[in-house]
Amino acid sequence: MSKKHLHNQAAIPLAPAVFKKPQLRPMIAEYDPKKKGVKNDLSDVVMVKYKVDPNEIPVEQQAGSTLPLMEIPGRDIEADEGYNPFEHRKLAHPTSDMDTLIHLLKGSLGSGILAMPMAFMNAGLYFGLVATFLIGGICTYCVHILVKTAHELCRRIQKPSLGFAETAEAAFLSGPPAVHKFSRLAKAMINWFLVIDLLGCCCVYIVFVAKNVKQVVDYYAKTSEWLPYDLDERIYMVAMLPLLIMMNLIRNLKYLAPFSMIANLLVGTGMGITFYYLFQDIPPLSSRQSFAGFERLPTFFGTAIFALEGIGVVMPLENNMKTPTHFIGCPGVLNTGMFFVVSLYALVGFFGYLKFGDDTAGSITLNLPEYELLGQSVKLMIAVAIFFTYSLQFYVPMEIIWKNVRHFFGAKKNIAEYSIRIFVVLLTLCTAIAIPNLGPFISLVGALCLSFLGLIFPAVIETVTFWDRPNGLGRYNWVLWKNMFLVSFGILGFLTGSYVSILDIFSGKE
């Protein structure tokens, strides 16, 4: 957007967001042929489309002001309370409470569940169980305060719904005057953290596929004269490059829909077989550590928050509900869904570590028997499914990047976009080659991105929103103290998790 100050007296309200059918961080992102878009937790939040001209200036503002896209709300608290955003939502296909719960559960069972046994290995059997529920509770509470704050801001600016980044922008615009100037920065930071998170996931996917394929190939290469034995996994990553480039040059998502359907089928089958192996020949509880030590807790934090954090899904899910007040009620859709998700993740982590002990790998599939055809098939099925997922996950960050740079390329936009797509694919591949350590890589992505998205940003948004409201921070400013704890907890997890993960990466630890 141009920074020239054009003269217009009225600030223009933010254009309504187009929300697609929501999902949480899925193992398999899906193409929605009706909506012509990817069903993905972050696509629903980030793909906020405005009516724009080729220079990325909103059409409504071309002849007017380039003030923030959202007008600064007034301070008429009584008028705010009189507006009910839920009554003004016009949804073509609103979801019921049960539909929303199913979407939450379906999307929550993502790739992070495969890393939970490794998280328990870094925490200990019993401590990991307690800490998983604790982190799950904190993440769920941060979702609560984000949704509650979004409802408050919807009333203030009289908009039916807001996305995650829009909520941050509105919070800073409606907060104390001193923070108004940071509104666009807040929105941009959330979007770019989402980009880094998704591209980080794409890097993890490359490492995941290479390690699983290598295990299967190495098993058969021992007795084969023509199969290469014990090749470096980086060679497998490079071998994927032509296919990755070809698939990610596809800009029309409908052509990726068949791959999404195949991937869903493969993942469902593979996870079922994995559970079958987990519950066979379980060793005694006394054979595992109850507490693994303080030095490994940062790695546990990064891995657990990578698996459990679903902050990206909540706004599109809540915004598409027929009865949005039921989302954060008691028991509510969110509480019910997250209790089931956290319990399932804790179950997999507990029994996965109990089963494999100190040999637990970064992905539980890597612990499945190499000599059994069933175990080999799981590794290949989930590897293929994750490979297909790369292209659909890649779509969202690419859209954000392209939207911010395409005005530099004039008439050569097609060539430029294809070049940037190839460059970003190469960037993720080079990152995966440089960091082929699956466990520390997962922990690094969780600590680096999701500490901010899931803990720090919601706390900051709530604090700014209620800062100058009468009794907005509660008696004795308990809301402020509580949010200071959440921010401190997030920063501590970010610093320690990133530090330990980077040390593990440099030491070559898996």
| pLDDT for residue 107 | 58
**Could you give the CA distance from residue 102 to residue 98 in angstroms, rounded to a whole number?**
6
Contact between residue 247 and residue 225 where contact means Cβ atoms under 8 Å apart: no
| pLDDT for residue 432 | 92
**Could you give the CA distance from residue 392 to residue 381 in angstroms, rounded to a whole number?**
18
Residue among 301, 327, 262 nearest 445 (CA): 301
| pLDDT for residue 429 | 94
3-state helix, strand, coil in the chain (%, to 5): 70, 0, 30
| pLDDT for residue 133 | 94
Q: If DSSP codes are grouped into helix, strand and coil, which group holds residue 274?
A: helix
Query: Which residues in the chain land under pLDDT 70?
Result: 1-81, 88, 106-110, 253, 309-316, 509-510
| pLDDT for residue 363 | 87
**Could you give the CA distance from residue 146 to residue 190 in angstroms, rounded to a whole number?**
13
Burial class (CB in 10 A: 0-12, 13-18, 19+), 75: exposed
**Could you give the CA distance from residue 438 to residue 424 in angstroms, rounded to a whole number?**
20
Q: Which amino acid is at 386?
A: I
Backbone angles phi, psi at 433, to 5 degrees: -65, -40
Beta-carbon contacts of 359 under 8 Å, excluding residues fewer than 6 positions away, are 367
